[in-house]
Amino acid sequence: MLIGLQIRDVVLIESLDLSIGPGLTALTGETGAGKSIILDALGLATGMRGDAGLVRRGAAQAMASAAFAPAPDHPVWMLLEDKGLAYARDEDLVLRRTLSADGRSRAFVNDQATGVGVLKELGEALLEVHGQHETVGLLDARTHRPMLDAYGALAAGADAVAAAWRGWRAARERVEALREEVARSAAETEELTFRLAELDRLDPRAGEETELAEARAILGAAEKALSDIAAAREVFDGLGGKVAAAIRALERARERALTAGAAVEGVAVARLAAASEALDRTLVEAGEAEAAIEAAATAFDFEPDRLEKTEERLFDLRGLARKLNVAVEELPILRVRFAERLRAVESSEATLNAAEAEAAQGRAAYLEAARRLTEARTAAGGRLAQAVVVELAPLKLDKARFRVAVEPLAEDRAGPTGLDRVGFEIATNPGAPFGDLGAIASGGELARFALALKAALAERDANSSSARGRQPLMIFDEVDQGVGGAVADAVGLRLKRLASAAQVLVVTHSPQVAARAEAHWRIVKAGEGERLRTAVETLSPADREEEIARMLAGAQITDAARAAARALMDA
Residue-level pLDDT at 468:
41
Q: Which of 171-180, 268-277, 393-402 has the lowest mean pLDDT?
A: 268-277
CB atoms within 10 A of CB 418: 29
Return the domain boundaries, the chain. 1-131+467-539, 185-346
Residue-level pLDDT at 301:
58
Residue-level pLDDT at 219:
64
Residue-level pLDDT at 480:
76
Residue-level pLDDT at 358:
95
CB atoms within 10 A of CB 142: 9
pLDDT grade for 4, boundaries at 50, 70 and 90: very high
Residue pair 424/437 in contact (Cβ under 8 Å)? The answer is yes
Residue-level pLDDT at 24:
93
- Give the chain's mean pLDDT: 83
Residue-level pLDDT at 36:
82
Q: Which of 107-121, 254-268, 331-345, 473-487 has the lowest mean pLDDT?
A: 254-268
- Quick: pLDDT tens for 384-396: 999 999 888 888 8
DSSP 91: S
Angle subtended by helix axes 262-299 and 208-236, to nearest 10: 160
> What share of the chain has pLDDT > 70, as a percent?
85
- Quick: pLDDT tens for 306-330: 667 777 878 888 888 888 888 888 8
> What share of the chain has pLDDT > 90, as a percent?
35
Residue pair 504/476 in contact (Cβ under 8 Å)? The answer is yes
**Does the pLDDT value for residue 364 go beyond 60?**
yes
- Quick: pLDDT tens for 432-461: 888 887 666 566 677 788 888 888 887 665
**Does the pLDDT value for residue 265 go beyond 70?**
no
Q: Which of 76-80, 422-426, 474-478 has the lowest mean pLDDT?
A: 474-478
- Quick: pLDDT tens for 122-165: 998 898 888 655 555 677 788 899 889 988 999 999 999 999 99
Q: How far is CA 298 from CA 222, 303, 559, 560, in A?
A: 11, 12, 138, 137
Residue pair 506/27 in contact (Cβ under 8 Å)? The answer is yes
- Quick: pLDDT tens for 496-525: 988 888 899 999 889 999 999 999 999 988
Q: Which of 189-198, 227-236, 481-490 has the lowest mean pLDDT?
A: 227-236
- Quick: pLDDT tens for 212-244: 777 666 666 666 666 766 676 666 666 666 777
State the distance between the two ends of the chain, measured CA to CA, in whole angstroms.
27
Instruction: Name the CATH superfamily for 1-131+467-539.
Output: P-loop containing nucleotide triphosphate hydrolases (3.40.50.300)
Which has more pLDDT, 534 or 305? 534
Q: What pTM, to 2 d.p., does this model score?
A: 0.63
Taking the CA atoms of 382, 144, 123 and 40 in sequence, report the sign of the dihedral they define: negative
> Can you give 214-247 as a three-state secondary structure string?
HHHHHHHHHHHHHHHHHHHHHHHCCHHHHHHHHH
Residue-level pLDDT at 386:
93
Residue-level pLDDT at 93:
95
Residue-level pLDDT at 527:
74
pLDDT grade for 466, boundaries at 50, 70 and 90: very low
